[in-house]
Amino acid sequence: MRPHAVEATCAIVDREMELVKKRLSMHMDEVKPQFIDTWSLESTTGQAAKDLAPVLLRVLDHAAESGRAQARNKKKNPEQVCGQYITIQPSRLQ
């Protein structure tokens, strides 16, 4: 059962990353001063990850923080790091 679950999860993550890659792709002529002024990591990449890669975010979140740490840490949250990791990956898929 385990190899099938791993393969199924990998297939889902592959599809999610393709969607994220499409959302984050842009041409140089699309980068205008207004875009640069309003750009933020969370609004651009974080939202794409939340919208399009929920399974991958869940896997990364689980890997980034143990159950014990999750119970103890009330202020720390690995979500931002996980979102940043996702944004690094689309360039590797091209």
* 61-74 per-position pLDDT tens digit: 777 766 666 666 65
pLDDT score for 78: 57
Are 56 and 86 in contact by the 8 Å Cβ rule? The answer is yes
For residue 30, being part of any structural domain is answered with: no
For residue 13, being part of any structural domain is answered with: yes
For residue 31, being part of any structural domain is answered with: no
DSSP label at 89?
T
pLDDT score for 12: 95
Cα–Cα distance, 78 to 65 (Å, whole number): 7
For residue 85, being part of any structural domain is answered with: yes
Question: Going residue by residue through the chain (94 aa), what tens digit of pLDDT does each one get?
Answer: 688 999 999 999 999 999 988 988 888 998 899 988 888 877 777 788 889 999 988 888 777 766 666 666 655 565 655 555 555 554 444 4
For residue 33, being part of any structural domain is answered with: no
For residue 59, being part of any structural domain is answered with: yes
15 by Cβ neighbours in 10 Å (0-12 / 13-18 / 19+) ranks as middle
* Count of structural domains within the chain: 1
**Boundaries of domain holding 65:** 2-25+41-93
For residue 36, being part of any structural domain is answered with: no
For residue 35, being part of any structural domain is answered with: no
